[in-house]
Structures are given as structure tokens and as C-alpha cells.
Amino acid sequence: MRNILAASVSLFSLSLLGPVACGGTVAEPPQVLSEQTQGLNAVGTGCSSDAQCSTGLCWTEADSYPLYNPQWIRADSCTEECGGPDDNAYCQQLAAEFNAPRPSAARCIAARGVYDNYPYDDIFYVCDLIPAGLGKVHWAE
């Protein structure tokens, strides 16, 4: 009876260890990604549409006319919404997280119709990361 019990325990142990007991290796479990952000631009990088940004928000200078005049500057940046004109601290913290050269220059500004899929003329507040040194700026000719 002891031999049957010992043999059963041995076989059970080997089945749990599997290939490791026989000198093999155990395959690593596949990596699980928490978000599907591969291939999307991070905050503070240039963009031309919301679909390119991991946050789903691409700001361009035309969204904030007359603060930025599209006649003399072309700018774009993946960004995030902020609470309003007094919410500069959030934008400065965001800029610091993304290693902006001048994070204290980031600001919360009013922007019109910044979402691609929002067809109405409405005001949103977004972090302007251009003064902080993030995004892309192209001088108009």
C-alpha cells in the first residue's frame, strides 16, 4: 500500500513540475499589456490628428486663435485637458513628467473644437506644452 501511495505522489509531483523535472525549461507566460498605446504618440510629441495621440487629444495652434496666430506659427502637440485658465500647475506637472526643458512655462489655455470627433464650436481647456518645449513648432513663411 505504501508503494502505491509513494508512486502516486511521485507521479503527481512530476506532472506538476513537467519539463523542469526532466531538464527542460518552462515557457514564460505571455506579457499582458494594460493599455493598447503601442505606436501612439506620447504627451508632448507632434501630431496631426487625435488618433495619433495616446491621450486621444491633438492640439494645434488653430484651435487657440488668436492666442496663437496660424499666420506666423504652425504648432501641434499631443496633450491633455485641464481645468481652466487657473490650472497651470497641472500642466506644469504634466510637462515635468514628460521631461520638458521648461516645465514651468506650460499653461492651461482655452481651445475651440480640439477633438476631431466633436463637430460643435465649443471651448475646452487644454495644456499648452509648446512654451515648455514640447510638441512641434513650424514657423509659417
Mean pLDDT of 41-52: 94
What local confidence, expressed as pLDDT, does residue 52 receive? 95
**DSSP state string for the chain:** -HHHHHHHHHHHHHHHHGGGTTT--PPPPPP--SS--TTPBPTTS--SSGGGBTTS-EEEGGGGTTTS-TTTEEEEEE--B-S-TT-HHHHHHHHHHTT-SSGGG-EEEEEES-STT--S--EEEEEE-TTTT-SEEEE--
The larger pLDDT score, comparing residue 80 to residue 12, is at 80
Confidence band of 94 (pLDDT split at 50, 70, 90) = very high
Mean pLDDT of 115-122: 82
Average pLDDT, the chain: 80
Mean pLDDT of 114-118: 84
Q: Residue ranges of the domains in the chain?
A: 50-139
What local confidence, expressed as pLDDT, does residue 5 receive? 47
What local confidence, expressed as pLDDT, does residue 114 receive? 84
Confidence band of 115 (pLDDT split at 50, 70, 90) = confident
End-to-end, the C-alpha distance of the chain in Å comes to: 93
